[in-house]
Structure 1
Amino acid sequence: MDSELLTRGLLYLSLSVVGIPGNVAVIYAYLMALHHEKCLLTADAIVLHLALANLLVVGVRCVLETFATFHIANVFDDTGCKGVIFVYRTARSLSIWLTFVLSTYQCLSIAPPGSRWATARELFTRFLWLIFLVVWIINISVSSPSIVFAMGAKNNSKLLQNSINVQFCFINFPSVSVKDANGAAQTVRDVVPMAFMTTTSLIILVFLYKHSRHVRAIRGAGGSSAESRAAVTVVTLVTLYVMLYGVDNGLWVYTIIIKQTMSSALMSDLRIFFSSLFAAMSPIIIIVSNKKVNKYVRCCGGEKTSG
């Protein structure tokens, strides 16, 4: 195995080792909270859904890429490529949109009681199931072309100029216009929530700044509420998203405009790495900053130690 493949395999392995236990821990913590408390808060339900999407990103793409790189198992035939790319793209975009949904809800949560925004927050909570449904429909629809156009790398002799190399698979579009339309749809799908979540995060930051000044003026010292801690967590997640997915989308735009089919394999690896890095790192932020998650994770660790 050459050094490039070895490095690639080790990077995907590291994402798997960090991302799978982290997301499983977050999911476990919220399921335990649901068991003991009989319900989940709106923000908790969104984060649980986010952790499930992130687990799919790491589990479906990074683990399988690791297995294929080290020749442990290879599922990347035509059918495998269609399934893996579709699930990965759907889960990846779900992660983006759920982070946007979380930031929107947190922005509404800091609104003063009785205000118009507080009413919007109540409607948000009531129709959260509908928001989830719409998010799923949007992302499945945009990812569905991969079911039609993905193929295994063994068929590379049939590739056209408008194909995209994703290492073990190829996305073989029937025409340049279809390739460009698909690329534009994916870019818009990612950039729109990124723009909105950046806006909501700026609003949250302004609120936190004014709130901290107000607290210092009254108490003469800093203070932090549960809402403020939650807001800081959301802003941290959004900042991480903007950094990593900003690079990811920049590489995607480059991929769809270059003419050399084979040279886009490196771009694909970099895109998968940066997008999967968010899926692997976000549970660490959640575990460290969320008291409820931290409590149940520590309880689980305590039970295993005592057992």
Structure 2
Amino acid sequence: MDLCVTIKGVSFLLQTGMGILGNTVVLLAYATILYSERKLLPVDMILCHLAFANLLLLLTRCVPQTMTVFGLVDLLDNAGCKVVIYGYRIGRALSVCITCMLSVFQAVTIAPAGPHLSRLKPALPTLVLPTFAGLWLLNMAICIAAPFFSMAPRNGTVPAFTLNLGFCHVDFRDSLSYVINGVAVSGRDFAFVALMLGSSGYILLLLHRHRRQVRGIRRSHPAETRAGKTVITLVVLYVFFFGIDNVIWIYMLTEAKVSPVVADMRVFFSSCYAFLSPYFIIFSNKKVKNKIMCAAEQDKLASTDTQESHDK
């Protein structure tokens, strides 16, 4: 195994392993909160769903990608490829949509109550689950074409207008299908990114106004300020990697045959948000951090008690 393949394999392995670990920890922390408090706040429900979407993305894209980099072949048959590619497309789509949902939800929450928002704000908690259902249905419909073009890798030359993912091929057969798929996916992503940027800009504007009007904003509105900064950081993180992802994607749309190296680079950068966001949630969300610290302390006490009983 040459140095380039080794570096690529280790990079994917670390990203996949740490990403799955981080998102799983976030989900377990929220499961513990739900068990103890019997409910989750709307923003916690959104962050929990974001962790689930990112976990789905990592499991269906980065795991087989990592195995392929290390030389494992014939991982999936045609049916397996269809399921995995469809799951990846939905996970990736939900990641952007739920990040956008988080940004819009926070913007509405901290916005001054007007004639319209005065009715919407009390209804926000009841809209979370229907919005989740709507986003799932929307993205399942948009991504429905992916399974029809997915298949197990074939020996020989890769046909034109085929995305060679290593463990699977996505064969669009002609330029029209290739471009229509790319435009549909990119159009959806850019629409949600534009919405999240607009709502994040509005959050920044509101926080700036509060800072000018009230001295010591952190003492006056600590929860709103902290939540607003968390949302803005997640949006900036997503938009940064989204930009890199789409620069590579646009290049891939202009080429009939795409090098596997280019496809690997796109996979790595497009998965960075799913890998990094759970750790930001852990460090910025007090509830999640406290649950993890409590679990760590309980494990430490349990191991100490076990050691003491063993010594006796």
Q: TM-score, normalised by structure 1?
A: 0.92
Could you say which residue in structure 2 is the equivalent of 1:168?
A: 167
**1:230-270 Cα deviation digits (max 9, x unpaired):** 110000000000000111122112111212x142x222211
Pairing partner for 1:241 from 214, 220, 238: 238
CA contact (8 A) 2:73 2:167 kept: no
CA contact (8 A) 1:108 1:118 kept: no
- What displacement does 1:127 show? 2.3
Pairing partner for 2:262 from 267, 285, 295: 267
The 5-angstrom pairing of residues 62-77 of structure 1 reads 62-71=62-71, 75-77=75-77
- How far apart in 2 are the matches of 1:115 and 1:233? 28
- What displacement does 1:156 show? 4.8
Pairing partner for 1:280 from 272, 275, 295: 275
Could you say which residue in structure 2 is the equivalent of 1:183?
A: 182
1:302 and 2:297 aligned: yes
Determine helix, strand or coil for the equivalent of 2:108. helix
- How far apart in 1 are the matches of 2:87 and 2:194? 24
Deviates more, 1:222-231 or 1:88-97: 222-231
- How far apart in 2 are the matches of 1:33 and 1:78? 40
Q: TM-score, normalised by structure 2?
A: 0.90
**1:57-91 Cα deviation digits (max 9, x unpaired):** 12222222222322467523323322222111110
Q: 1:286 to 1:74 in 2, by over 3 A?
A: farther
Q: 1:156 to 1:40 in 2, by over 3 A?
A: farther
- How far apart in 2 are the matches of 1:73 and 1:16? 19
CA contact (8 A) 2:163 2:170 kept: yes
Q: 1:301 to 1:231 in 2, by over 3 A?
A: same
- How far apart in 1 are the matches of 2:156 and 2:142? 24
Structure 2 unaligned runs (5+)? 303-312
- What displacement does 1:115 show? 4.8
**1:11-31 Cα deviation digits (max 9, x unpaired):** 111112221111111111111
- How far apart in 2 are the matches of 1:22 and 1:63? 15
Percent of aligned positions that are identical? 36
- What displacement does 1:151 show? 1.8
Deviates more, 1:83-92 or 1:274-283: 83-92
Letter aligned with residue 182 of structure 2: G
Structure 1 unaligned runs (5+)? none
Could you say which residue in structure 1 is the equivalent of 2:128?
A: 128
CA contact (8 A) 1:167 1:269 kept: no
- How far apart in 2 are the matches of 1:71 and 1:154? 16
Could you say which residue in structure 1 is the equivalent of 2:206?
A: 207
Which protein shows a greater Rg? 2
> How many corresponding residue pairs?
302
- What displacement does 1:282 show? 0.3
